[in-house]
Amino acid sequence: MKKQTHKYKIPVLLSGKVFLLVVCMLLVSMVSKSQQSTLVAIGNSSDVPNDLALSELKSILMGEKQRWKNGDRILIALMKTNTPLGKTTSSKIYDMTGDELNKFWLALVFQGKAQAPKFFSSTEELKNFVAQNRGAIGILDKPITDSEIKFIRIDGQQSF
Amino acid sequence: MQINLKTKIWFTICFIVLMFSFFTLFYFPNQQGKLLINDYNKEIQNLANTVALGVKIAITEQNFEGVQTAIEFVKDDPRLQFVSMIQYDTVWKSDHSNYKINKTIFKTFPENQHPSPETTSNDSIIVKEAPFKTDMMTGAIMLGFNTKEIVESKEKIKIASIIVSSIIFFIGIFIGFVLARNISVPVLALRDAANRVGEGDLNQKVKHMSNDEIGELGKAFNKMVDDLSKTRKELNEKNLQLSSTITKLNNTLDELKNTHLQLIQSEKMASLGELTAGIAHEIQNPLNFVNNFSEVNTELIAEMKQEIDNENYEEAKKIANEITDNETKINHHGKRADAIVKNMLQHSRKSTGQKQLTNINVLASEYLRLSYQGLRAKDIGFNATIQTIFDGSIGNINIVPQDIGRVFLNVFNNAFYALNEKRKTTTGNYQPTVLVQTKKTGEIVEIRIKDNGNGIPEKILEKIFQPFFTTKPTGEGTGLGLSLSYDIVKAHRGEIYVESKESQPPAQSDHSDRDDRFEQGEGSVFIIQLPVT
């Protein structure tokens, strides 16, 4: 399967106005895109850290890190890739399509290298899972209020 | 070739043990091995199917729990050689006219294993595939398990089989030994005991009897021997009794024979007595003449002496002549008596058994007269008419005259007895008559003696020739006369039978010329047939 990549080519030899227009358009699209692909990392209130670096988050979500510092197993909760949030998560964090993500995790599980995430069809289910399981971490698209869930600041930011 | 019981038992035990050993050493392990391999194959296939299903669910539903659980279960199995996910890719030709399926290994656990998608089972590894198909991916799970455990299990089964076979073998030997001892030994003992019993030793007993059918057989044998011994004793006692009885019977038989002889002698003496009576009666006549004429001569001699004294010599000569005449008569009658005595002596002489040519008519006539005179001597009031029709052409025939004479005497006596009995009970005009007729027909002489007595009832006709059968009152007859007569006639190769009014004559009789004077009224006809030579 062919890997799809989005390449942003910034033309360098355009005129000023056109350059500004393009930059504005780009900024607008980036803003809109950033508004569409804003992700929030949540974790179980018991043992998940409050702050994580993005690279660390990716490492966790890629299955490279499997336990928290206190030894609890990391349980990943994601939305299914056939949901918008799932697609966003798949592309933004894993840089993969849904099928690629499935194959990725299948390979890891098949070789026993990692425990696959739990995929949910609704954010409510995801939230409940994270709230009820120690060491659980999940990705949502907007903040929520729950006493059993904490928001993890990624690179000091609430969303990323 | 005779095979004894012990050998048969051993053969049977050995056969059973060998069969069991074959089963235990070869068949059972073989079957168990096949069973193990089959179960193993099924187990591996089931595992592959489970993993494949997990993969399918993981891909289609993004639920990795199933495949995770299956993979962890498979990973922990010590028999696992590898588990691979094979990816099927459809590769079309450039012109899309044909395609082929490319199989590539997607992932393998453990990573150090590099199986080929075409790997198949062999002696050391069992490979099973379970396909799966999703929109995203089509492929198969290939599971490879080693057969080490199977081989070890087979070895264990083999060792267990050898051990069990050996145990069974020794148990079989032991059982064979015990059976041979418990069955063969008692049976052989029974055989030997039976042989000795057969030779006559009834003191044989079988010992050491077990509580089974063999023991019961032994007890039955002992009982049989006891019964045989008892029976033999009883038989011996019975034999002794039988011997004693036989001795007594022999003695009785001798006595009976003696008695028979005595009775026959009595019969002979009786007939002789009757004969003697007849003869005596005949002698009486000439003796009377002798006595009378002697008395007369005595008187005449006295007269003659007186005449001589008176010198009447002429008168004396006359008297002497009378005396001479009387002496002649005395001589005549004396010779008559002498002849009669000689005749009596002839009849009283024992039969020599020698046949001689004899005039049957003369013999019959003589005994007829003697019998008649004998009866008249006993009963002076008896008178009968005697008729004779003798065939002059008969001449002499070859017979034992004393024996045939006895036959005639018996028959004539019976005839006269019958006439006398009828005379005593008949009132009116009854003329007792006896007819004696002889006739020669070819080589047979037939003598018929007919009387007009009461006849013989039909119901006793067949008995009259039986010994000791008589219709006379007790003391008057021995019942042997006709029986002896029958035997004498048979000894002469002749026939004797009787006809009554009711009886039928035998076929061999020629009745063409018999006298019919007595055809009317009651009576009996005795027919005696004798060969001429």
A98, part of any domain: yes
Better pLDDT: B342 or B294: B294
Which chain B residue shows the shortest CA-CA distance from A83? B62
Domain count, chain B: 2
Say if A13 falls within a structural domain. no
In chain A, what residues touch B65 (CB-CB under 8 Å)? 116
Min Cα separation B136/chain A (Å): 7
Report chain A's mean pLDDT, rounded to a whole number. 82
Query: Which residue type does B375 have?
Result: L
Q: Which of B59, B72, B109 shows the shortest C-beta gap to A102?
A: B59
Q: How far apart are CA B365 and CA B286, in angstroms?
A: 20
Number of helices and strands (H, E) in chain A?
5, 6
Show Cβ contacts of residue B127 under 8 Å, excluding neighbours closer than 6 positions.
B115, B119, B120, B121, B142, B143, B144
Per DSSP, B349 falls in state S
**Residue A103 and residue B67: Cβ atoms within 8 Å?**
no
Pick the last residue of a domain from B120, B138, B170. Answer: B170
A51 touches chain B (CB under 8 A): no
Domain count for chain A: 1
- The band of B212, judged by pLDDT with boundaries at 50, 70 and 90, is confident
Q: Which of B64, B71, B111 sits opposite A105 (nearest CB)?
A: B64
Q: Is residue A20 part of a domain?
A: no
A80–chain B Cβ distance below 8 A for any pair: yes
Give chain B positions within 8 Å (CB) of A116: 58, 64-65, 68
Tokens, residue B90: 């459809």
- Say whether pLDDT at A125 is over 80: yes
Sequence-separated contacts (24+) of B499-503 with Cβ below 8 Å: B499/B524, B499/B525, B499/B527, B500/B455, B500/B456, B500/B457, B500/B458, B500/B461, B500/B524, B500/B525, B501/B455, B502/B458, B502/B461, B503/B456, B503/B458, B503/B461
A110 chain-B contacts, CB cut-off 8 A = 55, 67, 71, 83, 85, 106-107, 109
Tell me if chain B has a CB within 8 Å of the CB of A109. yes
The reply to whether B515 falls in a domain is: yes
CA gap B105, B117 in Å, rounded: 6
Pairing of strands B138-146, A118-120: unpaired
Residue B110 inside a domain? The answer is yes
Instruction: Please report which confidence band the pLDDT of residue B93 belongs to, taking 50, 70 and 90 as the band edges.
Output: confident
Identify residues of B whose CB sits under 8 angstroms from chain A CBs.
Answer: 55, 58-59, 62-65, 67-68, 71-72, 75, 83, 85, 106-109, 111, 136-137
User: Would the pLDDT of A31 be above 70?
Assistant: no
Kindly identify which residue of chain A lies nearest to residue B64, measuring between CA atoms. A116
List the single range of B174-188, B449-463, B470-484, B499-513 with lowest mean pLDDT. B499-513
Q: Which of B143, B170, B197 is the last residue before a domain boundary?
A: B170
With respect to residue B466, please indicate whether it lies within any of the assigned structural domains. yes
The enclosing domain of A45 has a CATH number of: 3.40.190.10
Look at residue B404 in the predicted model and tell me its pLDDT.
Answer: 93
pLDDT band at residue B24, thresholds of 50, 70 and 90?
confident
Given a cut of 70, whether residue A128 has pLDDT beyond it is yes
The CATH number that applies at residue B397 is 3.30.565.10
Q: Determine the pLDDT at residue B78.
A: 92
**Chain A residue numbers touching B71 (CB-CB < 8 A):** 109-110, 112
Q: Is B75's CB within 8 Å of A116's CB?
A: no
Does residue B44 lie in a domain region? Answer: yes
**Three-class SS state of A69:** coil
- Could you tell me if B329 and B293 are in contact, meaning their C-beta atoms sit under 8 angstroms apart? yes
pLDDT (tens digit per residue) in B36-62? 999 999 999 999 999 999 999 988 888
Judge whether B418 and B524 are in contact, CB under 8 Å: yes
* Tokens linked to B380: 């002076």
Judged against a pLDDT cut of 50, whether residue B390 lies above it is answered with yes
Q: What's the sign of the alpha-carbon dihedral B39, B43, B44, B49?
A: positive
Bond preceding residue B473 cis, omega within 30 of 0: no
How close does chain B come to A56, measured CA to CA in Å?
23
Residue B168 CA to residue B177 CA, distance in Å, equals 14
Residue from the list B64, B65, B107 with its beta carbon closest to the beta carbon of A111? B107
> Is B187 within the bounds of a domain?
no
Asked if the model's pLDDT at residue A1 lies above 60, the reply is: no
In a domain, residue A92? The reply is yes
| pLDDT-based confidence at residue B270 (cuts at 50, 70, 90) | low
d(CA A87, CA A108): 20
- Cβ-based contacts of B67 with chain A (< 8 Å): 106, 109-110
Per DSSP bridges, beta strands B495-499 and B524-531 are antiparallel
How many Cα atoms within 13 Å fall on the side-chain side of residue B40? 24
A107 to chain B nearest CA, in Å? 6
| Confidence tier at B516 by pLDDT (50, 70, 90) | very low
Q: Is A121 an interface residue toward B (CB < 8 Å)?
A: no
Residue matched to tokens 């590539």: B104
- According to the model, what pLDDT value does residue B337 have? 83
- Structural domain of residue B521, as residue ranges? 357-531
Q: Which one has a higher pLDDT value, B1 or B483?
A: B483
Q: pLDDT value at position B510?
A: 47
Helix, strand, or coil (residue B526): strand
The dihedrals phi and psi of A154, each to the nearest 5 degrees, come to -105, 120
Q: How far apart are CA B524 and CA A51, in angstroms?
A: 170
Burial degree of B453 (CB within 10 A; 0-12, 13-18, 19+): buried
Interchain contact, A102 vs B85, CB within 8 Å: no
For an interface test with B, which of A73, A76, A106, A113 has the most B Cβ atoms less than 10 Å from its Cβ? A106
Task: Choose, out of B64, B87, B89, B132, the residue to mutate when testing the contact with A (most A CBs < 10 Å).
Answer: B64
Chain B residue numbers with beta carbons less than 8 Å from the beta carbon of A103 are 136-137
Least confident of A15-19, A59-63, A100-104, B311-315: A15-19
- The encoded tokens of residue A107 equal 């390979």
Domain edge (last residue) among B120, B142, B170: B170
Cβ-Cβ contacts under 8 Å for A39 (sequence gap 6 or more): A88, A89, A92, A93, A139, A140, A141, A159, A160
Determine the structural domain holding residue A87 and report its residue range: 38-154
Assigned domain for A21 exists: no
- Phi, psi angles (nearest 5°) of residue B128: -130, 145
